[in-house]
Amino acid sequence: MKIRLAPLLGLACLAIANLSPAHSQTATLPEPPPPADVPAPGPQTDAPYAPTPILPAGIVIPLYPANSPYLDQSRIHEAETYGSYNPPHLGYIVNIHNPSIEFHAANGAVNTGATVILAAGGGHNNLNVVGEGANIVPFLTANGINAAILRNRLRSDGYEPKTDGVHDAQQAIKLVRAHADHWNLDPKRIGIVGFSAGAELAASAALHYEEFDSKNDTPSNPLAKISSRPDFIGLVYPGPSPFAFGGAADIPRDAPPAFFATPGWGDWIHALWADDYFTALHHDGVPNVELHIYARGVHPGDRGQAEQAPATAGISSRDGVAFGKWQDSYLHWMSDLGFLQKPGLETLAARDIARNLDRPNRYEEMQKRIAARRAAQAEKEAAE
């Protein structure tokens, strides 16, 4: 049988020619699309503004009924304004006239029932809901702690932080506790962690809950019998508390345990304010207060000195500076006090508070003993 090679050779040559560089074409990879802009808030209507979640799966609930006397009825319909420190990422919110919480449940199998309300800072001019809110939520929920981001009213929008802002924090505690059964929370493990200006709200909320609850114990209030007392507080690089600048405040006998964390030398004023509050609680004998003043680090937003860590907010590595691990110390403290054990069990924190309701002021007693010894010594010397 004869095989005709010419057609086959022709086809082979054609195939080789098509594979040669002169005839090949490489597909061009298209450029990626530009990043999305800062997310948009909910639309403004004539009705009370409906806040939208800033994280997936968030449940947003306004703090007050639409007709609440705590709200400015002339502005309750205004939409929030979103801003960015680093476009296109959301950074902060302003123009908050219908304050709210955004709840995120802990990961199911590890849910301890504990809940942390996150009160962001921003100097009362804006609300740093990402660095001191959204970025912290996954850390908490992964460790079995439910989280709620507080959107409180701001001085820059015409409100007074010492009243309006504190009331928002107190109402947030009541609201989270009121939904404990629905969200599978432990109503005796609800606390608040504040950052900078947000810590000012948490600090006052931990002192004045009896007054707020009494004032709002009215038949028309569905939260009337729900306590606004936090079971624990955390103050991270806090602003001035009622004890700053030589101030004073009554400390309730059942004042909650408190955790403090701040840079020291690089953020000396916030370290001083942390120490003011810690010292007042410590002198009074409030159980289970813990203070961490780190050697290095700067306040978020401040320009750091040479070789200082970045001035980031919330939780961050901060170039390996120890302050960047304050959140680990916070978890250890929570665990020490029993807040991270199985839901429903009494915490060590609760037992210690119950044992110390009739405690004396140890510092005042020490001062009296010192004064008595000095008087006795002076009397002895005069007799000689």
CATH number, domain of 181, equals 3.40.50.1820
295-314 pLDDT, tens digit each: 999 999 887 677 777 888 99
Q: Give SS3 for 14.
A: helix
Beta strands, E only, the chain:
59-62, 81-83, 92-94, 100-104, 115-119, 146-151, 190-195, 233-236, 258-263, 290-294
Give the up-direction half-sphere exposure of residue 235: CA atoms within 13 A in the CB hemisphere.
32
At 303, list the tokens. Answer: 């320009």
Instruction: Give the model's pLDDT for residue 16.
Output: 45
- What span, in angstroms and rounded, lies between the C-alpha atoms of 164 and 96? 12
pLDDT at 18: 52
Q: What is the pLDDT of residue 69?
A: 95
Is 330 inside any structural domain? yes
pLDDT per residue of the chain (384 residues) written in tens, 0 to 9: 444 544 444 444 444 445 455 556 789 998 888 777 788 899 999 999 999 999 999 999 999 999 999 999 999 999 999 999 988 899 999 999 999 999 999 988 999 999 999 999 999 999 999 999 999 999 999 999 999 999 999 999 999 999 999 999 999 999 999 999 999 999 999 999 999 999 999 999 999 999 999 999 999 999 999 999 999 999 999 999 999 999 999 999 999 999 999 999 999 999 999 999 999 999 999 999 999 999 999 999 887 677 777 888 999 888 889 999 999 999 999 999 999 999 999 999 999 999 999 988 777 888 888 999 999 989 888 888
Burial class (CB in 10 A: 0-12, 13-18, 19+), 365: exposed
Structure tokens at 282: 């410590």
Phi and psi at residue 259, to the nearest 5°: -120, 135
- Let me know if residue 47 belongs to a domain: no
**What is the C-alpha separation between 166 and 173, in angstroms, rounded?**
11
27 assigned to some structural domain: no
The three-state DSSP-derived secondary structure of 303-334 is CCCCCCCCCCCCCCCHHHCHHHHHHHHHHHHH
Q: Which of 199, 52, 24 is nearest to 134 (CA)?
A: 52
> Measuring CA to CA, how many Å separate 133 from each of 121, 136, 140, 181, 343?
9, 5, 11, 24, 24
pLDDT for the residue numbered 157: 97
257 close to 295: Cβ distance less than 8 angstroms: no
**Residue 23 domain flag:** no
d(CA 268, CA 237): 10
Residue 154 confidence (pLDDT): 98
Nearest to residue 133, comparing CAs of 12, 222, 236?
236
What is the pLDDT, as a whole number, of residue 241?
Answer: 96
Is 3 a domain residue?
A: no
For the chain, what is the mean pLDDT? Answer: 92
Domain assignment present for residue 203? The answer is: yes
Strands 100-104 and 59-62: antiparallel
For 153, the 3-state DSSP assignment is: coil
The domain of 66 spans 59-380
What are 144-162's pLDDT values in tens digits?
A: 999 999 999 999 999 999 9
Token pair in block for residue 322: 């120890």
Residue 342 in any domain: the answer is: yes
* Residue 240 belongs to some domain of the structure: yes
Other residues' Cβ atoms within 10 Å of the Cβ of residue 196: 27
Number of domains making up the chain: 1
Strand partners of residue 83? 92
In angstroms, the CA 3 to CA 23 distance is: 30
One-letter amino acid of 135: N
